[in-house]
Amino acid sequence: MKKRYAWMLAGALAGAAAALIQSFTGAQVMEALLHPFTLFGNLLRGWSLSGAAGNAAAWAVLIALSLLPVIYILLARRKRKQAGDWLFLLTGAIIFGGLFLLINPTLYVHPALTEALHYAPELLTGGPVFMMLSALLLSVVVRWSGGLMGMKKAESRLIFWTQAILTFSMTLIVFSSAYSLTDGLRAAFFPGGNTVSANLFAAESVSGMGADASSDALSAWMNSQYSDNSPLAAMSSPASRETSALIGLILTAITLIPNIFSVCMLDAASSLVSSIGRGFFSEETDGCASVLAVRARYTMIASVGSMAAENALTVLLAQWIANWNMSFSLPLDDLLLSCGAMLLARLLSAACKVKRDNDLMI
């Protein structure tokens, strides 16, 4: 089995497991993932409140962790200076701020929000953690993206990272889809759970998550963690819980269709990247480009078709959906991605033809 398929299988199983765990045990998956960071913040807070020595130790850890990017740059400067290096200094400051907020989370949210316990762990821990992670990611991208773009030697690295990002995206889409499908099925056929999905409004909101999964799987998945907390949730329609859940499942299934095509398209893109690694204008690359073009076209059709069906069905079935938090959208990002893939495939095919002709010039 190819590595990326193993990752996708693991993603699907993890998504289904996350949905079931969340539905039947009441555990918040996001909260569980963030738990080590919450513990770390609590540990440092405990130290800082324990006395002068503990406080000094907490500050020492805080400063040491904040200086990590700076230390890296000082070591890296010996080899080669890069334009994006200054960003690592800023990242150090952001890490400092993030860790400080992790220790004192109530500094950045309204005190009233901390009373809503359901929000608290994700918001209080997730806010600083994601702030630090995104700053780190920005530094990494700024530092290495330029090198990947122009250097001859970096070609293999570019291929490696492109494949890594493609595999990550596929895994995330599969995870998100498996999560929403499992949750939708459970809510429709086993409505006795006691958590997010058991909520009267969950199934439909989960279907909305499926719609977004192909473009922004992670944020959509995270949003679904809070989907049952809408203040409008109390204003339930006369619809029965079972009907609402069943409609939610249908909408979920419809919105998951583009995900299947998206994964197939990314799979073709991954094969294409591999073949480029073996030879830019080979026969294999030409074949992979043709497969990519076909899959990109189907992804485009599936994406627009699914969105049209979902929007129409949402309007038609609105009165039976016990969720006021509905949304309508256009899959512009899917369209752009598919168009880009088709254009790349066309360009590669044309280049392969030129190469073939050129090879027959003696």
Total number of residues binding other proteins (CB under 8 A)?
A: 5
| Site mask for other proteins (CB under 8 A), range 88-117, x = bound | ------------------------------
Instruction: Tell me which residues in 297-356 interact with other proteins (CB under 8 A).
Output: 353
Tokens at residue 273, please? Answer: 């990247």
CA atoms within 13 A on the CB side of 286: 11
Residue in 52, 234, 235, 360 binding other proteins, rule: CB under 8 A? 360
Which residue, 112 or 361, has its beta carbon nearer to other proteins?
361
Structure tokens at 108: 């950045």
Phi-psi region of 351 (alpha: psi -120 to 50; beta: other; left: phi over 0): alpha
**Neighbouring residues of 40: CB distance < 8 A, sequence distance ≥ 6:** 102
Q: Supply 349's token pair.
A: 């095919």
At residue 238, φ and ψ (nearest 5 deg) are: -70, -5
- The residue type found at 124 is L
DSSP assigned state of 228: G
Q: How far is the CB of 358 from other proteins (least distance, A)?
A: 8
Structure tokens belonging to residue 143: 């530092």
Residues in contact with 255: Cβ distance below 8 Å, sequence separation at least 6, in sequence order: 207, 208, 210, 211, 213, 306, 307, 310
Task: Choose between 118 and 355: whose C-beta lies nearer to other proteins.
Answer: 355
For the bound state, the minimum distance from the C-beta of residue 92 to other proteins, rounded and expressed in Å, comes to 55
Closer of 53 and 360 to other proteins (Cβ)? 360
CB 347 within 8 A of CB 285: no
CB nearer to other proteins: pick between 156 and 358? 358
Residue 334: CB minimum distance to other proteins, A: 29
> Least Å distance between CB 348 and other proteins?
16
Question: Does 362 interact with other proteins (rule: CB under 8 A)?
Answer: yes
What would the two tokens of residue 358 be? 């050129």
SS3 state of residue 317:
coil
CB of 134 to other proteins, least distance (A): 46
Binding mask 120-159 for other proteins (x = CB under 8 A): ----------------------------------------
How many residues appear in the chain? 362
Minimum CB–partner distance for residue 359 and other proteins (Å): 9
Name the region of 309 (left: φ>0; alpha: ψ -120 to 50; beta: rest): alpha
The least distance separating other proteins from the CB of residue 350, rounded to whole angstroms, comes to: 9
* Minimum distance from residue 276 beta carbon to other proteins (Å): 23
Given the complex with other proteins, which of 95 and 293 has the nearer CB atom? 293
Which residue, 236 or 282, has its beta carbon nearer to other proteins? 282
Residues that bind other proteins (CB under 8 A): 353, 357, 360-362
